Each structure stands twice: as structure tokens, then as C-alpha cells.
Amino acid sequence: MMNDQLRAIVQQMPKAELHIHIEGSLEPELIFALAERNGVALAYGSVEQLRAAYAFTDLQSFLDIYYAGASVLLQEQDFYDMTAAYLARAALDHVRHAEIFFDPQTHTARGVDIGTVIGGIARACRDSTVSATLIMCFLRHLSEDEALATLEAALPYRDQLIGVGLDSSEVGHPPEKFARVFARSKALGLHLVAHAGEEGPPAYIATALDVLHVERIDHGVRCLEDAALTRRLAREQIALTVCPLSNVKLRVFDRMEQHNLVQLLDAGLAATVNSDDPAYFGGYMNDNFIAAFDALPLGLSHAQRLARNSFSAAFLPAARKQQLLDEVDAFFAAAAV
Ligand code: ADE
Ligand code: ZN
């Protein structure tokens, strides 16, 4: 259990969130409000019944409910309201910058125009005090041709995107399935990330780097099963966007006490802490930090490293990045006295 002083520091330190699926920030109350507004029928009778269904056994059991929840999103204002709610919540946790994932294919499959999706999310980002940019994710359980068509459809909105990512069901859908769409994205000047080594094997982390040429790995916690890969990630300072509460809820680790965040940091890896799908996994950024710090032997120096790592790994201009890193260091210098 961490002491009150460390808790306050972890809560108040400036931080960046680099792994948040915006559809995973949809709280049950907002799901019901949007269902009513849009006349969408839900399979659950009440907020309580829906929340009771959030008992996941693995990634797929979560994804099934997550995609059902997203079915209430139809209008540009819906995407705006969802994103505005997340950013307001993130600001309370002293998140200064967020790189937000969204899954356009979840919406275009229901007949929603991609411009409606990007327009609503981007407008909420512009209206927020938190700086926020967008990473468009391809659903890996679908084909690469569908991902290519999604990228094509997003071209009129290219300026609203900072990068592309890869999410959804990992096992059986290795990174190399998406080599062409990542090459095309890179040619467009987009940053590249991919989920790898969450449920999938360490080999997926290696192919995400070698075949897709990603700059960060989302999750990546299974890297420690491969010593040579771990050394490489440390040497190249490839950031891992780790999501502690998600990993416990989806049974990557049975209990937070078994999470390998300390080992990742001890191995010299550029690990960060993030919320993944906060409405589904029991908490936002500070909930993730507090759950990890409460259960694991993490101290003040780890907190500073995690805050610094989050800004170092962000896709921000160098001057802005340095300014935020300086803010972290100033915060910890003041906290030490
Ligand atoms: N989509 C939303 N959350 C995800 C996760 N943790 N892994 C893969 N796909 C996701
Ligand atoms: Zn994720």
C-alpha cells in the first residue's frame, strides 16, 4: 500500500495518456442516454444489468460487449459527447496530452460515415483544455483489404490524424497480415503503433517492429518471455503502453500483485501507464496508477520515470515534448522539498 504523499504525487503529476480507445470510455449511463436519443434497442434492461455483464474472462469476451456498447453511436454529436466526457475526466487526472484511438470500422459497418466519426471526435479534441490527437485503428479480425478501404475513406480527413494503430482480437491475426496498409500509412506520414504481446506471443511484438515498422507497442507485456526481444526493446527504447487494470480484468495477469510493470521498468524498458477502456475496466488514468502503485513495489522514482516516459513516447513536436518533460521534472523537484 503506498503512502498518502506518494498517492498525491502520482495523482497530481502531469502525464500523457497514449492508450485509450475512445469507444472504451463510453460509460453505461451514456450508452443508455445515447440509445434513448437515437432509438437504438439494447440487449440490457438497465445500467445495472449492463454493468453486471462486465465480467470478462479474456479479450474476446470483452470485445463482444465493447462492440455492442458502441452500437449507440450514430450522430456526429454522439462522438463529440463521448470524447468530451473522456477529456473532461482525463483533465481531472492531470492528463495534459492524450493520443486517442478510435475504431472507424465498428461504425462504418453500421452505416455511419467515417466523416461523422472523425468530425465529432476531432471537434471535442479542439474544444478541450487537454491537448489531444487521433490514432485511427484497424480491426485485425477483419481483412487487410477492409483496412486499406478504411484508410482510403479517411484520406479526406488525413490532417485530423496523427497515426494509425491495430487492435481487436490478437491471437490468430499477426501483425504481418497488415503489412501493406501500414506501409501505405507510413508513406502518408502517419505515425505507426500496434497492439502486440497482450494475449498474443512475443513474436507478434517482433513482427510489429520488423514488418509493420511501428514506433510504439500497445501492451507488449509478454515481451519478458523473450530475453533477446526484451534487450532489443530496451536498447531501442521502444515505448510500451501498458494498461494495468485492463490486464487484470482480461486475465493477462490474475491479480495486480502479479503484474510485471516493475520488471519491465527494471529491464530498462520505456513503459507507460494507460487506461485502455476505462469505462469497462474499472478506471481512468489515476485509477490505473493507484491500483499498480498499491499492489506493486513502485516508488517516487518510478512515478517520475512513468510520467517522463509518457511524454517522451508521445507524438509531439520536440519543443512541446521538452516543455512537458521540464514540467514533470519541476513538479518532482517541488514535491521533493
Ligand atoms: N480494443 C479495445 N480495447 C482493446 C484491447 N485491450 N486489445 C485489443 N483491442 C482492443
Ligand atoms: Zn487497447
Beta-bridge mates of residue 17: 98
**119 contacts: CB under 8 Å, gap ≥ 6:** 76, 79, 157
Instruction: Verify whether ligand 1 is closer than 6 Å to residue 59 (CB atom).
Output: yes
pTM of the full structure = 0.98
Closest CA to 327 of 127, 97, 6, 89: 97
pLDDT in tens, the chain (337 residues): 789 999 999 999 999 999 999 999 999 999 999 999 999 999 999 999 999 999 999 999 999 999 999 999 999 999 999 999 999 999 999 999 999 999 999 999 999 999 999 999 999 999 999 999 999 999 999 999 999 999 999 999 999 999 999 999 999 999 999 999 999 999 999 999 999 999 999 999 999 999 999 999 999 999 999 999 999 999 999 999 999 999 999 999 999 999 999 999 999 999 999 999 999 999 999 999 999 999 999 999 999 999 999 999 999 999 999 999 999 999 999 998 6
Instruction: Verify whether ligand 1 is closer than 6 Å to residue 21 (CB atom).
Output: yes
Distance CA 30, CA 144 (A): 32
22, 26, 56, 59: residue to mutate for ligand 1 pocket, most atoms within 8 A of CB:
59
The single residue of 99, 198, 215, 327 carrying the catalytic annotation is 198
Q: What is the CA(287)–ligand 2 centre distance, in A? A: 16
198 included as an active-site residue: yes
Instruction: Verify whether ligand 1 is closer than 6 Å to residue 198 (CB atom).
Output: yes
Distance CA 212, CA 160 (A): 22
Beta-bridge mates of residue 21: 101
Instruction: Verify whether ligand 1 is closer than 6 Å to residue 20 (CB atom).
Output: no
Domains and CATH numbers, the chain: 4-336 (3.20.20.140)
pLDDT of residue 311: 99
23, 62, 246: residue to mutate for ligand 1 pocket, most atoms within 8 A of CB:
62
pLDDT of residue 337: 66
Q: What is the CA(196)–ligand 1 centre distance, in A? A: 10
pLDDT of residue 2: 82
Helix, strand, coil percentages for the chain (3-state, nearest 5)? 60, 15, 25
Residue written as cell 482480461? 250
Closest CA to 192 of 99, 114, 302: 99
pLDDT of residue 336: 81
Q: What is the CA(331)–ligand 1 centre distance, in A? A: 32
Nearest CA to ligand 1 atom 10: 168
Instruction: Verify whether ligand 1 is closer than 6 Å to residue 168 (CB atom).
Output: yes
The 3-state DSSP class for residue 241 equals strand
Instruction: Verify whether ligand 1 is closer than 6 Å to residue 278 (CB atom).
Output: no
Q: What is the CA(157)–ligand 1 centre distance, in A? A: 24
Query: How many residues belong to the chain?
Result: 337
